[in-house]
């Protein structure tokens, strides 16, 4: 009986340990050469919350969009990409200055990866003592990396003063970061640097500029819905009606 209990205890411990380990980093294929990676950070009170990033495999190397939130996963992400695709990360773009987007910039810069943010993000990162990129974008920019092209777009203030989105026109992928809320949540989230009035205008700007995206990737939680932009507007309007009367 004691032996059985011991075996069960070991199994439960191993299962629990593996669940905690796998929770640190997950990689999901989105479409073609696009992958979503998810890491976890403390959203307050010790609650671990998922943050989505993305990477793109090109014939020149891998482009990373945002960095892991979990500082222990900077290198494991690189290792996983190398093992899975036999390619190195050559470039990283962060979509705003918060740590769930920029935490790994200094680390990746030291690894010889070209790191990018907007000038506005860099100014906020410097002021808030967050990691900073090596290269700056002073306006909306179109990149051509290998066989893929994509553009950055600043729609206006929202979740943060500097939040940008990325658009992959051929694939109709909108990578929104934290300006877009997942349909999995009805919470407006972190408002420490937000402007909820301007945020509505900014979402409408995104809707006008990028028509009928096939994939919409929010900064947190599920990306399975095409209704995330409309859902974000709904959350913001409810919040503003309640708090800005």
Catalytic residues: 96, 98, 100, 159, 190
Do 213 and 176 contact (CB within 8 A), yes or no?
no
Report how far Cα 102 is from the mean position of its chain's Cα atoms: 10
Q: Measured between alpha carbons, how far is 87 from 109 in angstroms, rounded to an integer?
A: 17
Q: Answer yes or no: are the C-beta atoms of 188 and 196 closer than 8 Å.
A: yes
> Which SS3 state, helix, strand or coil, does residue 163 take?
coil
Other CB atoms within 10 Å distance of the CB of residue 163: 29
Q: Which are the contacts of 19, defined by CB distance < 8 A and separation ≥ 6?
A: none
Hey, which residues does 241 pair with through a beta bridge?
Answer: none
Order of strands across the sheet that contains 34-42: 25-31, 34-42, 48-58, 61-65, 89-93, 114-118, 135-137
Between CA 169 and CA 149 the distance in angstroms is: 8
Q: Using N-to-C axis directions, what is the helix angle for 196-209 and 228-243, rounded to 10°?
A: 160
What is d(CA 64, CA 77) in angstroms, rounded to the nearest whole number?
A: 10
Q: How far apart are the first and last CA of the chain?
A: 66
Q: What is the DSSP letter of 223?
A: -
């Amino acid at each position: 009986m004691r032996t059985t209990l011991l075996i069960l205890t070991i199994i439960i411990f191993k299962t629990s340990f593996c669940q905690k380990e796998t929770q640190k980093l997950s990689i999901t294929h989105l479409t073609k050469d696009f992958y979503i990676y998810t890491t976890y950070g403390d959203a307050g009170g010790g609650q671990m919350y998922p943050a989505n990033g993305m990477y793109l495999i090109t014939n020149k190397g891998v482009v990373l969009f945002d960095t892991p939130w979990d500082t222990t996963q900077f290198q494991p992400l690189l290792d996983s990409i190398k093992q899975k695709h036999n390619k190195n990360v050559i470039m990283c773009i962060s979509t705003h200055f918060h740590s769930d987007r920029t935490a790994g910039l200094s680390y990746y810069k030291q690894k010889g990866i070209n790191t990018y943010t907007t000038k506005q993000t860099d100014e906020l990162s410097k002021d808030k003592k967050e990691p900073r990129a090596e290269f700056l974008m002073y306006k909306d920019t179109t990149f051509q990396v290998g066989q893929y092209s994509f553009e950055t777009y600043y729609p206006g203030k929202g979740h943060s003063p500097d939040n940008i989105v990325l658009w992959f026109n051929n694939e109709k992928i909108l990578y929104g970061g934290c300006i877009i809320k997942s349909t999995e949540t009805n919470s407006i989230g972190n408002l420490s640097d937000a402007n909820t009035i301007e945020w509505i205008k900014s979402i409408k700007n995104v809707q006008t500029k990028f028509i009928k995206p096939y994939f919409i990737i929010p900064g947190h939680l599920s990306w399975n819905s095409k209704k995330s932009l409309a859902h974000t507007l709904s959350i913001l309007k409810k919040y503003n009606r309640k708090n800005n009367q």
